[in-house]
Chain A
Amino acid sequence: MQESPPCQLSFQNLYRSFGRLAVLRGVSGEVSTGQTLLVTGANGSGKSTLLKCLAGLMVPDRGEISYRQDNTQLDARERRLAIGYVAPDLSFYEELTVEENLLFFARLRRTSEDRIGHLLERVNLPPDRSAGTLSSGMLQRLRWCFALLHQPRLLLLDEPFQNLDSPGQDATRSLLEQHLDEGLAVTANPGLLELPHVAHHLQLAG
């Protein structure tokens, strides 16, 4: 099997404030293909803000973010469309079913719709269930499907196992392990997590 060119994400001296409240103060780190960067810290320490900056959903006040994928340097706009993102503030159209939501996002991402059935099967989510009637654990499974739909190389995971039961955690850990064969991940969680291939650990001060 032909190997994909390596990917690398690095960020140096990231600063982000909300008014007078400084949330990120000179945060740096890096992660490469096959690795996980685990970011831990108390509530309000800036984990979600860091992931939003890395995803291109928020602009840092200062600092550099560099992401190389397939020998190409991606800017914030390209990075935003290329990554996979799981976060508690990610919601879906409640009027549509699980499958309709994923079909819609697959069309926007110009990716094959064939993968939807496979992902739903892996996380054991009923395709015809309305997204508005999902439990919090099922919604978290849908977030995982959304993140992996376009087979991204970089996964940004904000509290990725939140609300998941034991089978749900097993299924998503297995998806993460498989993803790390050719991809990389940054995972944020208040405490330490049992994760595959953790190469770096970044502790954010509260």
Chain B
Amino acid sequence: MSHTTSSWLAEAFAVFAKEWRTEFRTRYALNTLGLFAITSLVVVSISLGPLGAATAERTTVMPVLLWVLLLFAVAAGLPRAFVHEEESRTATALRLSATPSALFTGKLLYSWTVVLALELIVTPLFVAMMHLPVANPGLLALALVLGGYGLAAGGTLVAAIIAQARSSGTLFSVLALPVLLPLLVLAIELSRAAIAGDFVPVVPRQLLLYDASVTVAGLLLFPAVWNP
């Protein structure tokens, strides 16, 4: 590995480590996302729990509910990724110090780990509370890892775009919808396949392609969005 690449990775890791260090001290994202997800999960399980939906409908309906729940929880916390830097006026020091692509990568990795932590808590609870039989748990894990990455990458990119705007929360919802819509369709389809046990190999490839496309788009667009 060249010196430049290792320095770039060290820079991205420094951003990632700083994000988790501040998160452990404030617990803002974990509390916001976690509380939102658990509250929604309880509402869903009371309304559509084991007895609320017919068995035939469950394979179709449950993956949709799971991903809508994850999307809303992410939308409640991820927009803060760059807005907080602008509001607390730390963005100037970051602009003077960080390579934009390394900064984006560090923030993206942090967002991904937050989403993975959220999925790790929410999904087993969802499966247990809904009495949902999963035919292929490995495939569901793959859907959560790839779909979670897509949520984090798309969310981080949109969060960077809206950082300097007023009414950033509303703008996040408006801009995130078209970016995240293809991802949600694919993640729901893969989760449905995992629950029903009918694996379609093209869907994981499409999810991977989406994740790669959003990452490349983010790395290319972020310097223009972040710098004056």
Q: Is A107 an interface residue (CB 8 A)?
A: yes
User: What is the distance, in angstroms, from A50's C-beta to the closest C-beta of chain B?
Assistant: 14
Cross-interface CB contact of A108 among B21, B26, B92, B97, cutoff 8 Å = B97
Q: Is B25 an interface residue (CB 8 A)?
A: yes
Q: Which of B7-15, B34-42, B134-142 contacts A (4 or more CB under 8 A)?
A: B7-15
Closest Cβ neighbor of A80 among chain B residues: B96
Closest Cβ neighbor of B18 among chain A residues: A104
Cross-interface CB contact of B93 among A83, A90, A110, cutoff 8 Å = A90
If over half of A's interface residues share one DSSP class (helix, strand or loop), that class is named, otherwise mixed; here it is loop
The count of chain A contact residues (Cβ–Cβ below 8 Å) is 27
Cα–Cα, bound, A95→B84 (Å) = 13
Cα–Cα, bound, A160→B23 (Å) = 32
Q: Which of B26, B89, B96 is most buried by chain A, counting CB atoms within 10 A of its CB? A: B96
Cross-interface CB contact of A87 among B26, B92, B99, cutoff 8 Å = B92
Closest Cβ neighbor of A94 among chain B residues: B88
**Cβ-defined contact, B89 with A110, below 8 A:** no
**Cβ-defined contact, A100 with B21, below 8 A:** yes
Cα–Cα, bound, A105→B11 (Å) = 9
Contact string against B for A residues 96-111, beta-carbon threshold 8 Å, 1 for contact and 0 otherwise: 1000100011011110
Interface magnitude class on chain B: 20 to 34
Cα–Cα, bound, A55→B95 (Å) = 10
**Cβ-defined contact, A107 with B21, below 8 A:** no
- Chain A 13-71 residues near chain B, CB threshold 8 A: 55-59
> With A83-B96, A110-B11 as given contacts, are A77 and B227 in contact (CB-CB < 8 Å)?
yes
**Cβ-defined contact, A96 with B21, below 8 A:** yes
A59 contact set on B, CB distance < 8 A: 228
**Cβ-defined contact, A108 with B11, below 8 A:** yes
**Cβ-defined contact, B98 with A108, below 8 A:** yes
Closest Cβ neighbor of A130 among chain B residues: B25
B55 contact set on A, CB distance < 8 A: none
User: What is the distance, in angstroms, from A147's C-beta to the closest C-beta of chain B?
Assistant: 9
Cross-interface CB contact of B10 among A95, A96, A107, A146, cutoff 8 Å = A107
Q: Is B5 an interface residue (CB 8 A)?
A: no
Q: Is A81 an interface residue (CB 8 A)?
A: yes
Cα–Cα, bound, A95→B92 (Å) = 17
Cross-interface CB contact of B14 among A91, A93, A108, cutoff 8 Å = A108
**Cβ-defined contact, A146 with B92, below 8 A:** no
B18 contact set on A, CB distance < 8 A: 93, 96, 104
**Pairs across A and B, CB under 8 Å, 15 listed:** A57-B228, A59-B228, A77-B227, A80-B96, A81-B99, A89-B89, A91-B89, A91-B92, A91-B93, A93-B18, A96-B18, A96-B21, A105-B93, A107-B11, A108-B14
With A89-B92, A93-B88, A104-B14 known, 19 other A-B pairs at CB within 8 A are: A56-B228, A57-B92, A57-B95, A57-B96, A81-B97, A87-B92, A89-B89, A91-B89, A93-B90, A94-B88, A95-B21, A95-B22, A95-B25, A96-B21, A96-B22, A96-B25, A108-B14, A108-B15, A108-B97
B interface, CB within 8 angstroms of A? 7, 10-11, 14-15, 18, 21-22, 25-26, 88-90, 92-99, 102, 227-228
